């Protein structure tokens, strides 16, 4: 029997994401398939990768997001592939914070467990290579890691 309360989500034909396609157009600002508006190209840059001094293998990652509103940057889509494991087992950002947003450029930091520095980070703007880790700068010292 069909369940009308929870229809099967149809992925957007262009970006392939569920829950963004209303049947005629895509609501993602970086896609907008089916509408006559131009997609906004999301530009994400990894500014820094900083090891956190804690018992767990954790890094603080700093990124800038441009070309789209920061809310179009879905932090939930940031992950890193673990070969041979389904995506649901991959790591996810932890305790993300926006540290500034002006002129369409947002600066976001988040913690990431078990980061593999030899592999790229998967982001809504594609795969991004990780820069070599650096000592955490003074301006980010207030970002204190708390275990999940
Ligand atoms: Zn789309």
Share of the chain above pLDDT 70, in %: 92
- Could you tell me the pTM of the whole model? 0.74
Cα–Cα dist 7/35, whole Å: 23
Q: What's the CA-to-centroid distance between 146 and ligand 1, angstroms? A: 35
Q: What's the CA-to-centroid distance between 123 and ligand 1, angstroms? A: 16
Q: What's the CA-to-centroid distance between 22 and ligand 1, angstroms? A: 10
Q: What's the CA-to-centroid distance between 38 and ligand 1, angstroms? A: 12
Q: What's the CA-to-centroid distance between 89 and ligand 1, angstroms? A: 25
Share of the chain above pLDDT 90, in %: 58
Cα–Cα dist 126/35, whole Å: 23
pLDDT at 71: 59
The whole-number average pLDDT for the span 45-68 is 92
The mean-pLDDT minimum among 95-104, 106-115, 118-127, 128-137 falls in: 95-104
The whole-number average pLDDT for the span 10-39 is 87
Beta-sheet strands, E only, within 1-148: 43-51, 58-66, 94-102, 105-113, 121-123, 126-128
**CA angle in degrees (0–180, nearest 5) for 127-129-133:** 140
Whether the CB-CB separation of 15 and 28 falls below 8 Å is answered with yes
Q: What's the CA-to-centroid distance between 52 and ligand 1, angstroms? A: 36
Give the residue among 116, 99, 29, 111 at the shortest CA–CA distance from 64. Answer: 99
pLDDT of 107 > 70? The answer is: yes
């Amino acid at each position: 029997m069909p369940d009308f309360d929870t229809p099967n989500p149809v992925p957007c034909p262009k970006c392939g994401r569920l829950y963004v396609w209303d049947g005629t157009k895509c609501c993602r600002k970086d896609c907008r398939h089916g509408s006559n508006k131009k997609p906004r190209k999301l530009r994400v840059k990894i500014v820094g990768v900083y090891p956190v001094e804690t018992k767990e293998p954790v890094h603080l990652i700093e990124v800038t997001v441009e070309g789209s509103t920061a809310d179009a940057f879905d932090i939930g889509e940031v992950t890193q592939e673990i070969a041979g494991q389904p995506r649901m087992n991959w790591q996810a950002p932890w305790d993300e914070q926006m540290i500034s947003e002006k002129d369409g450029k947002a600066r976001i930091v988040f913690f990431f467990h078990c980061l593999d520095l030899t592999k790229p980070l998967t982001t809504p703007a594609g795969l991004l290579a990780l820069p070599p880790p650096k000592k955490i700068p003074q301006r980010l010292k207030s970002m204190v890691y708390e275990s999940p």
